[in-house]
Chain A
């Protein structure tokens, strides 16, 4: 009588069942591993201050369109547009000694370098134009005294008047209203993370944003930080 050897008869099936059981045993810890996060989060019992919305700290007038390089644009009745730097940009880089503006008659391109901010320590940060066009006027008061742009960036501190040549196409890439506020909130979340990285997105204890925030974060390389936030770092930009 030949003994029935189940393992011989069903060796392939034994392996298959073994693989299936092995898979199930591995799958549960694998699933738990994948679904969990190793990045430290604030404990649930800790009080988390909800960060203030961007409009509490930085002006975002509703009649302006914002480029993600933190320049703004305003339509004028004569068909031209007024262009300037945002409140955030002014507070990020300041105090300034000079703003180098392009010459009247020169061309500017959306996403291309348009003017240069020169700080009191000699470092410079470029900013991008929010629009394509030709410069028809520059703000002489700002060219003479950069603090005008810092103190009133949306009013007397305007920088250029531009005759646009692709305004409708440029506007697709600009933000206003709710979209601008959400974008600014995201910028601030990133900035707060740099202020106190170990605490993640917890807010600071009150206070208004200081002039020259970039220097407060990184005194030595603040110009590189500001350039990264204003999108004039080393990467090439396209409109």
Chain B
């Protein structure tokens, strides 16, 4: 049967199978009538018009940003925290493909996907924050500005986003049923992983390097010449913790799509071991930064107490909890600790970019409800896209016709 009608029918059934999970449009829409979809839809129904309004009316109408406080939660949360938490892609890919820890192979694809979507929505958050987002291609194509840290970040993020996209091509080609393209994409994996970890090392640290030129603005307890190293090391812990959280949630929510031969508990405990060591080292490195600055007296101030909360509550305690949980095989403790660590990374990035920045200036920044709503919308869009992809593509489980390579 090769008539135009037959071809149209074939094409429609391919679309139905690939995009609508084999359902017709009415059945598909009915399947979206869940409480989670309703809440996500509500958030986007409010948030997307707000984003449009931001571009129509400008930053002044939608944010509490000012000349004194030009960076708010769109940078602190969406960009800085988003990029840190998306570090799971390079940490897991490096562990599996460079260090040969094949036990973690089942979580490479979800980690890469989390990383890719994390960067996509971090860049979207950046575009929403930029005064003239249409100028984004300028440092890439026209005016370089080599000495600028921002130039290096721009290039690294663009390149790394491309690397993550290409790392995720094998499941896309498997979904499309293109075995040759899939084989070609798989051959690039090692090279992409090496390139990816180089780029990540560069831009994760450079995001901290942005604050090197603000020694008078950033509170002395958070400011340090070592802040690029802090950002890079904490990104490793952030990535590992985010992968533990994502893995736990994915295997619970997407049970029918998950590979139940994979021992996710054992993987979580292994990641916890790594995270505990990284956090332990990170704590002492930050302590060295305080010693180097000689600012022990500031620990008794209000900001000092908050710094101690971050150091002890969000770095040292999670390190010890991860160690205890991994040693005693307490998977639930490990998962909750991972969620706490993710929160701690967000707290750290917000401290550096918003809370402890301009700490001695009367004009303090408090985000507007519209800024908060836009951030929530971007996160919701990222989660929805993750769900859309996992429900269709072989992310949590390999397809029998494409065995593990």
Contacts of B294 in A (CB 8 A): 12
**Given A37-B329, A173-B256, A30–B280 Cβ distance below 8 Å?**
yes
- The contact size tier of chain B is 20 to 34
Contact with B along A127-170 (1 / 0, CB 8 A): 00000000000000000000000000000000000000111111
Contact with A along B175-195 (1 / 0, CB 8 A): 000000000000000000000
Is B273 among interface residues, defined by CB-CB distance under 8 A?
Answer: yes
Nearest CB in chain B: distance from A64 CB, A? 14
Contacts of B281 in A (CB 8 A): 23, 27
Contact with A along B319-337 (1 / 0, CB 8 A): 0001100111100000000
A30 x B21 contact (CB < 8 A): no
B329 x A186 contact (CB < 8 A): no
Is A237 among interface residues, defined by CB-CB distance under 8 A?
Answer: yes
Is A58 among interface residues, defined by CB-CB distance under 8 A?
Answer: no
Contact with A along B382-405 (1 / 0, CB 8 A): 000000000000000001100000
B287 x A237 contact (CB < 8 A): no
Is A196 among interface residues, defined by CB-CB distance under 8 A?
Answer: no
Q: Is the interface of B mostly helix, strand, loop or mixed?
A: helix
Is A68 among interface residues, defined by CB-CB distance under 8 A?
Answer: yes
A20 x B288 contact (CB < 8 A): yes
Is A52 among interface residues, defined by CB-CB distance under 8 A?
Answer: no
Give how many A residues have a beta carbon under 8 Å from the other chain's beta carbons. Answer: 37
B323 x A30 contact (CB < 8 A): yes
Contacts of B260 in A (CB 8 A): 68, 183, 186
Contact pick for B326, options A16, A34, A165, CB 8 Å: A34
A179 x B261 contact (CB < 8 A): yes
Contact with A along B226-257 (1 / 0, CB 8 A): 00000000000000000000000000000111
B276 x A34 contact (CB < 8 A): yes
Please report which residues of chain A, range 20-37, place their CB below 8 angstroms from some CB of chain B when the two chains form the complex: 20, 22-23, 27, 30-31, 33-37
Is B17 among interface residues, defined by CB-CB distance under 8 A?
Answer: yes
B328 x A179 contact (CB < 8 A): no
**Given A23-B284, A30-B280, A177-B400, A36–B327 Cβ distance below 8 Å?**
yes
Contacts of A177 in B (CB 8 A): 400
B256 x A34 contact (CB < 8 A): no
B255 x A169 contact (CB < 8 A): no
B291 x A238 contact (CB < 8 A): no
Is B277 among interface residues, defined by CB-CB distance under 8 A?
Answer: yes
Is B22 among interface residues, defined by CB-CB distance under 8 A?
Answer: yes
A-B contact pairs, 24 of them (CB 8 A): A19-B288, A22-B284, A23-B284, A30-B323, A33-B323, A34-B273, A34-B276, A34-B322, A34-B327, A37-B327, A38-B329, A68-B255, A165-B22, A166-B21, A169-B21, A170-B22, A172-B399, A176-B400, A177-B400, A182-B261, A183-B261, A237-B256, A238-B256, A239-B256
- Which residues in A have some Cβ–Cβ distance to B below 8 Å? 12, 15-16, 19-20, 22-23, 27, 30-31, 33-39, 68, 110-111, 165-170, 172-173, 176-177, 179, 182-183, 186, 237-239
